[in-house]
Amino acid sequence: MSKNSLKVAKGTRDWVGRDLELRDHIFRTISQVLERHGAVQLDTPVFELREVLSEKYGEDSKLIYDLQDQGGESLSLRYDLTVPFARWLAMHTNVQNIKRYQIAKVYRRDQPAVARGRMREFYQCDFDVAGASYDAMVPDAEVIRIISEVFSAFGLGVTVKLNHRKVLDGLFAVAGVPSNKIRTISAAVDKLDKTPWAEVKEEMLAKGLAEAVADHIGGYAQKSGTLRGLLDELRKDTDLSSNTDVAAGLADLELLATYLEALNVADIVSFDLSLARGLDYYTGLIYEVVTKPDPKSKVQVGSIAAGGRYDNLVGMYGKRPVPCVGISFGVDRIFTILDAQREKAIFNTLSRPADVYIMAFGGKEFDGLLPQRMKVATQLWDAGIRGEYAPKVKPRQMAQFNASDGVPLAVILGDEEVKAGQVRVKRLHTGGESGDKDKGKLVSLDGLVEEVRSLLDEAALDMAKIGS
Amino acid sequence: MSKNSLKVAKGTRDWVGRDLELRDHIFRTISQVLERHGAVQLDTPVFELREVLSEKYGEDSKLIYDLQDQGGESLSLRYDLTVPFARWLAMHTNVQNIKRYQIAKVYRRDQPAVARGRMREFYQCDFDVAGASYDAMVPDAEVIRIISEVFSAFGLGVTVKLNHRKVLDGLFAVAGVPSNKIRTISAAVDKLDKTPWAEVKEEMLAKGLAEAVADHIGGYAQKSGTLRGLLDELRKDTDLSSNTDVAAGLADLELLATYLEALNVADIVSFDLSLARGLDYYTGLIYEVVTKPDPKSKVQVGSIAAGGRYDNLVGMYGKRPVPCVGISFGVDRIFTILDAQREKAIFNTLSRPADVYIMAFGGKEFDGLLPQRMKVATQLWDAGIRGEYAPKVKPRQMAQFNASDGVPLAVILGDEEVKAGQVRVKRLHTGGESGDKDKGKLVSLDGLVEEVRSLLDEAALDMAKIGS
């Protein structure tokens, strides 16, 4: 095989060592919050029937990875975790309501931007509340509460930008956008967080909108503020609020404001009329989580979580409608932020330090006592203790000392001791002067596990003292 | 979309509820054993460059899933976790040695046999020891020790059938198999655990072997026994043991026998000359783990773990050779066995019981106190306690009692109490007669978390008493 194929596929990466540990820390932290709110886990296949994914993602459908036709079903890699969840809900008609979460990789044939945490294979963590037994906006409010708890746990200040599809659709209708142009104009508006109004307006005109209509939209789309504040303003705008869609959306948001106050998270929310979100399936509240501008931070990663209400998606599978609301955490982007914050430690996490290093020393005739070291390791493993020995028949003394770096305890074997059924047990790296001259405590193999346990407790206690 | 597409792809499944919990229990158990032996985790992408996978799997290559050419690289889904690990090792030339594990799904376009736990998407858990700093057979022995620890932890009695590629290759040479036929004859021999000798012989003849050669092989291939026992027998067979490959293999196995005795796992091993394993990349010791026949068990799943030594695989990527030995645990097959054993519990794990259910009761004018219930939940969540409330503005009394099934504690809100900044806290389902008439203890909101914590401790203590 050629040398240039010795790499991972574009937009993918391996996870190992400190990166993997940080990633797992992120998974654990999010899971803990979600389980506190009653969520259960779901795991779906990495590929779905192509039909399951079709007509769910609008213009983004072109980013879906298809599998080659090798005789059989037409398959595609999952693009997100929402559609597989909707497919699962449609299949399991006995499920009345569920709070589910899923942490898994998703696949998008996008242009990778590794430094900003955008990959072709990347993790999402989705939490969704599904079912008809919820009163309006109650689960929606809990999702925003959960967002707040998750990012507090990471020590990240965030803003939840939110909007409502019905407010947006009504606004477009009032402005005079033809109904068949609403989604494409919506996509243009969505760019307002990164693109100046003049450019967005140009795009709208190019898409066939009259200038007056575009300007009408522009007057609204650039509005943002607190939820209560902007709600009051829009209520007073009778042109707008007399539209039935807008009125329904504002009623939802009014309710949401009350609940967010009760859940003590009203202050992290910003009502932002330019937020549109590209996906076809949203029907109500939509939101996007952005980090608060941090002058010290060097990384800019865009939104780090996003979601909304999608009441019709499950019904698209033809069985029954199931109202849903959810949030998708961009785990890799969260990783990018936390990674930039953490200090670069020197230690190498590609090996895991043992509790006990089992050594053997002897003179010229010494055979290395490997089977005996193995027997001691076996005793320790049986007792659930992490033991390790040099993987050499005749290990050098220095090599064994080097390998025991970071290990709190040594069991030392010598010819004479072994013949008498004994070994020496010794604390390592205690720092005391006498430490290295101390030959350790002689114990019989029968009492070894007990002695090791007691010395490990002692070592743990000393570590705690150093830490405090 | 058509209704018949409302399913998962052939040979795949969703994981949720009790199944997912059992699967996670399997993952945790294996991880614990592996980490006790110093393993660190690696996670690789689900697809690799097609070139990375080519010429690694012999006849099984036809089972690889390819991705469609959508403009870009040629990609395939991973077929196992060994080749991605070898690719990683080849890329990271600074890694001298590593004990790594990976738990992830792999993909094979095989004929699914769901009842026997054979799927197209299934989990593997791989542990491998890589590096040149190990003396012969030392890591190989530790892998077999790890196999023993893993299956002990699951309460499963297993036999590790083992063989050595060099013994097998030498045996074929001595019998007179042309060297270009060795792999295909090897594949025929491998079927001897399921197929009678007469059929295997027929296959060999069809593959162009002379009858005398086939019979010569048959005389050996049907031999199996304890490692020491069969070793002694083969040593005495000078025709065989004078072959340099056989001699090298037997020397390895002799060493292994000593180490397995030291590690107290010699008794789980069976030396089986018919074991060949299909994959091209093995170079030394090979093994396959089977469950001991259990007359009570209804499930037959074939081998539940398998592996061996592959010293040349990393070198195939053209950078440097890295000797490796490893084991792959068939997680889904282990699941099938444990699933058949467990009792079918009735409870529904699609919801997770809360610690505290927050209820509100009142008369006709009662508005349901939803924001007040939310505030109480917020207090509890902030304290890390799992609180839940009915997602209704005006929940019915009965619905709230039903929803609190399995929840140890209730916080009860009423109009008067709330006005006074108070709630009632009550143990649920204590079984005592007075239980349901008891209106609970009146506490102020300030002292709520403290009171809840103390009552949860009390409830946990009672549960422990019932359990003991």
Q: Could you tell me if A423 and A376 are in contact, meaning their C-beta atoms sit under 8 angstroms apart?
A: yes
- Residue B263 confidence (pLDDT): 93
Q: Give the closest of A47, A105, A262 to B9, CB-based.
A: A47
Contact B91 A51 (CB under 8 A): no
Mutation target to probe the B interface, by most B beta carbons within 10 A, among A138, A143, A258, A407 is A138
Reported as a pLDDT band with limits 50, 70 and 90, residue B85 is very high
- Residue B435 confidence (pLDDT): 47
Contact B1 A259 (CB under 8 A): no
Mutation target to probe the A interface, by most A beta carbons within 10 A, among B40, B66, B109 is B40
Mutation target to probe the B interface, by most B beta carbons within 10 A, among A85, A350, A382 is A350
Tokens 């779905």 belong to: A48
Residue of chain A whose alpha carbon sits nearest to that of B89: A6
Share of chain B above pLDDT 70, in %: 92
Q: Is the pLDDT of residue B104 over 60?
A: yes
Under 8 Å CB pairs connecting chains A and B tally to 269
| B114-164 per-position pLDDT tens digit | 666 678 999 999 999 999 889 999 999 999 999 999 999 999 999 999 999
Contact A1 B109 (CB under 8 A): no
- Kindly list the residues from chain A whose CB atom is less than 8 angstroms away from the CB atom of residue B3: 317-319
Contact A67 B69 (CB under 8 A): no
Contact A48 B386 (CB under 8 A): no
Contact A15 B133 (CB under 8 A): no
- Residue A348 confidence (pLDDT): 43
Residue of chain B whose alpha carbon sits nearest to that of A371: B262
CATH class of B356-467: alpha beta
Determine the average pLDDT of the residues in B169-194: 90
- Residue A101 confidence (pLDDT): 97
CATH class of A7-341: alpha beta
Pick the more confident residue, B42 or A298: B42
- Kindly list the residues from chain A whose CB atom is less than 8 angstroms away from the CB atom of residue B75: 9
| B384-415 per-position pLDDT tens digit | 999 999 999 999 999 998 888 889 999 999 99
Among positive and negative, which fits the CA dihedral B174, B176, B181, B187?
A: negative
- Kindly list the residues from chain B whose CB atom is less than 8 angstroms away from the CB atom of residue A75: 9
- Kindly list the residues from chain B whose CB atom is less than 8 angstroms away from the CB atom of residue A90: 6
Mutation target to probe the B interface, by most B beta carbons within 10 A, among A28, A33, A44, A77 is A44
Q: Which long-range contacts (CB under 8 A, 24 or more apart) does A64-68 make?
A: A64/A107, A64/A108, A64/A109, A65/A107, A65/A108, A65/A109, A65/B67, A65/B68, A65/B70, A66/B67, A66/B68, A66/B70, A67/B65, A67/B66, A67/B67, A67/B68, A67/B77, A68/B65, A68/B66, A68/B67, A68/B68, A68/B69
Q: What does the DSSP 8-state code read for residue A67?
A: B
- Residue B126 confidence (pLDDT): 97
Contact B91 A6 (CB under 8 A): yes
Pick the more confident residue, A27 or B462: A27
Residue of chain A whose alpha carbon sits nearest to that of B355: A36
How far apart CA B64 and CA B83 sit, in angstroms, is 13
Contact B46 A46 (CB under 8 A): yes
Domains B7-341 and B356-467 share a fold: no
- Kindly list the residues from chain A whose CB atom is less than 8 angstroms away from the CB atom of residue B98: 350-351
Q: Which long-range contacts (CB under 8 A, 24 or more apart) does B400-405 make?
A: B400/B357, B400/B359, B400/B360, B400/B361, B401/B359, B403/B357, B404/B357, B404/B359, B404/B428, B405/B353, B405/B429
- Kindly list the residues from chain A whose CB atom is less than 8 angstroms away from the CB atom of residue B350: 40, 95, 98
What pLDDT tens digit does each residue of chain A (468 aa) get? 455 568 999 999 999 988 998 999 999 999 999 999 999 999 999 999 999 998 888 778 899 999 999 888 999 999 999 999 999 999 998 888 899 999 999 999 988 776 666 789 999 999 999 998 899 999 999 999 999 999 999 999 999 999 999 999 999 999 999 988 988 898 899 888 888 999 999 999 999 999 999 999 999 998 999 999 999 999 999 999 999 999 999 999 999 999 999 999 999 999 999 998 877 789 999 999 999 876 666 666 678 999 999 999 888 887 788 999 999 999 988 998 888 887 644 334 566 778 999 999 998 888 999 999 999 999 999 999 999 999 999 999 999 988 888 899 999 999 999 999 999 999 987 755 444 567 889 999 999 999 999 999 998 888 777 655
The H helix count followed by the E strand count for chain B is 16, 17
- Residue A414 confidence (pLDDT): 94
| B307-360 per-position pLDDT tens digit | 999 999 888 887 788 999 999 999 988 998 898 887 644 334 566 778 999 999
- Residue B297 confidence (pLDDT): 63
Mutation target to probe the B interface, by most B beta carbons within 10 A, among A2, A12, A128 is A12
Q: Could you tell me if A185 and A214 are in contact, meaning their C-beta atoms sit under 8 angstroms apart?
A: no
Reported as a pLDDT band with limits 50, 70 and 90, residue B295 is low
To the nearest whole angstrom, how far is the Cα of B360 from the nearest Cα of chain A?
15
- Kindly list the residues from chain B whose CB atom is less than 8 angstroms away from the CB atom of residue A357: none
- Residue B434 confidence (pLDDT): 43
- Kindly list the residues from chain A whose CB atom is less than 8 angstroms away from the CB atom of residue B5: 49, 51-52
Question: Which helix (H) or strand (E) element contains residue B444?
Answer: strand B441-444
Residue of chain A whose alpha carbon sits nearest to that of B392: A135
Q: Is the pLDDT of residue B439 over 80?
A: yes
To the nearest whole angstrom, how far is the Cα of A198 from the nearest Cα of chain B?
35
- Kindly list the residues from chain A whose CB atom is less than 8 angstroms away from the CB atom of residue B139: 391
φ, ψ (nearest 5 deg) of residue A28: -65, -45
Tokens 């996906």 belong to: A279
Contact A12 B47 (CB under 8 A): yes
To the nearest whole angstrom, how far is the Cα of A92 from the nearest Cα of chain B?
10
- The per-residue pLDDT of chain B, averaged, comes to 89
To the nearest whole angstrom, how far is the Cα of B43 from the nearest Cα of chain A?
5
- Kindly list the residues from chain A whose CB atom is less than 8 angstroms away from the CB atom of residue B46: 46, 77, 105, 107, 121
DSSP B2-21: -GGG-SPPTT---EEHHHHH
Share of chain B above pLDDT 90, in %: 68
How far apart CA A99 and CA A96 sit, in angstroms, is 11
- Residue A350 confidence (pLDDT): 64
Reported as a pLDDT band with limits 50, 70 and 90, residue B5 is low
Q: Could you tell me if A67 and B68 are in contact, meaning their C-beta atoms sit under 8 angstroms apart?
A: yes
Contact B121 A47 (CB under 8 A): yes
Residue of chain A whose alpha carbon sits nearest to that of B67: A67
CATH superfamily of A356-463: Anticodon-binding domain (3.40.50.800)
- Residue A388 confidence (pLDDT): 92
- Kindly list the residues from chain B whose CB atom is less than 8 angstroms away from the CB atom of residue A392: 133-135, 138
Contact B9 A48 (CB under 8 A): yes
Domain boundaries, chain B: 7-341, 356-467
- Kindly list the residues from chain B whose CB atom is less than 8 angstroms away from the CB atom of residue A391: 133-135, 138-139
Instruction: Characterize A366-403 residue by residue with b for buried, 16 or more Cβ atoms within 10 angstroms of its Cβ, and e for exposed.
Output: eebbbbbbbbbbbbbbeeebbbbbbbeeebeeeebeeb
